[in-house]
Amino acid sequence: MKDEGKIELNYSKTVVDEVDNGHSIQVDDTGSAVIDGRKFDLVQFHFHAKSEHTVNDKHYPIEVHFVNQAQDGRLAVIAVFFKEGKENAAFQTVLDNIKAGEKADVADEVNATQMIPANKTYYHYIGSLTTPPLSENVEWYVMKNPVEVSKAQIVAFNKYYDSNNRKIQPLNGRTVLEHIE
């Protein structure tokens, strides 16, 4: 089935802070997303190794989750796969500021849009958060096209978090829609 909703992102280059929260590296950021005409504010983004979603049973080495919230509290998570390729400047800034088990004020700007593919074809379904409290009724938008990060960046992230992903869950009757850009 096809999904007709367009995603428009306005993620800023300003980072409030970055924290090693014991489960992942989380970056609290500002920005907004308009998804199918509805406005969401970017709350934070964080990373999982290996990916928490698969396409045709294929995992990717890293997946980033951009957690967005509407004024009514509804959550929309935009998930992006990372694959091995060229170095990604935004991800490198995140890696350069990791302080194990601590919060770090990030002086350098992180251009979060560098971690979003140019082609915004995505898969959409209603699911849950993948970390506690595992809240239900979360709108998931899983980008079909991965973003490149270098092998060195994958290795660097895995020094902090390797296998911090939730195992793949059964669909349990959920419908997965595809939006083609």
d(CA 31, CA 88): 20
- Identify the sign of the CA torsion 89, 92, 94, 97: negative
The reply to whether 43 falls in a domain is: yes
The reply to whether 99 falls in a domain is: yes
Task: Quote the tokens at residue 108.
Answer: 């350098």
23 carries an active-site annotation: yes
The reply to whether 112 falls in a domain is: yes
Indicate which CATH number applies to the domain containing 93.
3.10.200.10
53 carries an active-site annotation: no
Q: Which of 130, 131, 139, 179 is catalytic?
A: 130
Q: Is 60 helix (H, G, I), strand (E, B) or coil?
A: coil
62-118: pLDDT as tens digits: 999 999 999 999 999 999 999 999 999 999 999 998 877 777 777 778 889 999 999
**What is the total count of domains within the chain?**
1
Note down the domain range covering 24.
7-179
pTM score? 0.93
Q: Which of 18, 53, 63, 65 is catalytic?
A: 65
Confidence of residue 4 (pLDDT cuts 50, 70, 90): low
Name every residue whose Cβ is closer than 8 Å to that of residue 149 and which is 6 or more positions away in sequence.
Answer: 62, 82, 83, 84, 85, 86, 87, 88, 91
Name every residue whose Cβ is closer than 8 Å to that of residue 73 and which is 6 or more positions away in sequence.
Answer: none
Report whether pLDDT(14) > 80.
Answer: no
18-28: pLDDT as tens digits: 888 888 888 88
Region of residue 22 (left: phi > 0; alpha: psi -120 to 50; beta: else)? left
25-69: pLDDT as tens digits: 888 877 899 998 999 999 999 999 999 999 999 999 999 999 999
Q: Exposed/middle/buried for 134, CB within 10 Å: 0-12, 13-18, 19+?
A: exposed
Q: Which of 18, 52, 63, 139 is catalytic?
A: 52
**Orientation of helix 151-160 relative to helix 89-96, angle to 10°:** 30
Q: Would you state the pLDDT for residue 103?
A: 77
- Residue for token pair 């509407």: 70
Contact 95, 156 (CB under 8 A): yes
Confidence of residue 13 (pLDDT cuts 50, 70, 90): confident
Q: Which residues is 68 bridged to in the sheet?
A: 42, 76
Q: Would you state the pLDDT for residue 140?
A: 97
Name every residue whose Cβ is closer than 8 Å to that of residue 173 and which is 6 or more positions away in sequence.
Answer: none
46 carries an active-site annotation: yes
The reply to whether 40 falls in a domain is: yes
Q: Which of 46, 53, 124, 179 is catalytic?
A: 46
65 carries an active-site annotation: yes
Mean pLDDT for the stretch of residues 130-149: 94
The reply to whether 2 falls in a domain is: no
d(CA 164, CA 23): 7
